[in-house]
Amino acid sequence: MTTPILVKDVMWKQVDIVDSKCTVENALNDMQHKKTKMLLVDRSHPHDEYGVVLIKDIASKVIAKDRALDRVNVYEIMNKPTVSVHSDMDIRYCARLLTRLNLSRCPVLDNGKIVGVVSLTNIVFNGLRV
């Protein structure tokens, strides 16, 4: 039996977390500056869940509906709760979960805290080279 490749072996460890009350304009500037397509939305209290804002959400829920970027807050368009995986998950199961749910990426949690983000791109390119 071979040692499995785990999510923590292929995930991005730099995470981009924004406050749910920030404007979409600020979130979009953050995304553009960091060259990312996804921002994680922080919990507002310990029993809350994390959210996610994707470029797709901004396109479909703000731009397509002709809403002003500076007048819409992230909490209005985010997806919450978000699907997440554990850092010790085998990448084969992570790939199955993401593809089954038609997701390209998701946050990685350890003890209820975000420790990274994993994507199908990470799994395919980096999972083969570990």
Number of domains in the chain: 1
In a domain, 2, yes or no: no
* The pLDDT of residue 51: 96
In a domain, 103, yes or no: yes
**Cis before 81? omega within 30:** yes
Walk along the chain (130 residues) and give the pLDDT tens digit of each residue: 578 999 999 999 988 899 999 999 999 999 998 888 899 999 999 999 999 999 999 999 999 999 999 999 999 999 999 999 999 999 999 999 999 999 999 999 999 999 999 999 999 998 776 5
* The pLDDT of residue 16: 83
122 within 8 A of 107, measured Cβ to Cβ: no
In a domain, 1, yes or no: no
DSSP per-residue codes, 13-80: ----EE-TTSBHHHHHHHHHHHT-SEEEE--SSTT---EEEEHHHHIIIIITTT--GGG-BHHHH-B-
* The pLDDT of residue 87: 97
In a domain, 106, yes or no: yes
What CATH number did the domain enclosing 35 receive? 3.10.580.10
In a domain, 66, yes or no: yes
Q: pTM (2 decimals)?
A: 0.86
Domain extent at residue 113:
7-127
Give the whole-angstrom CA distance, residue 75 versus residue 51: 8
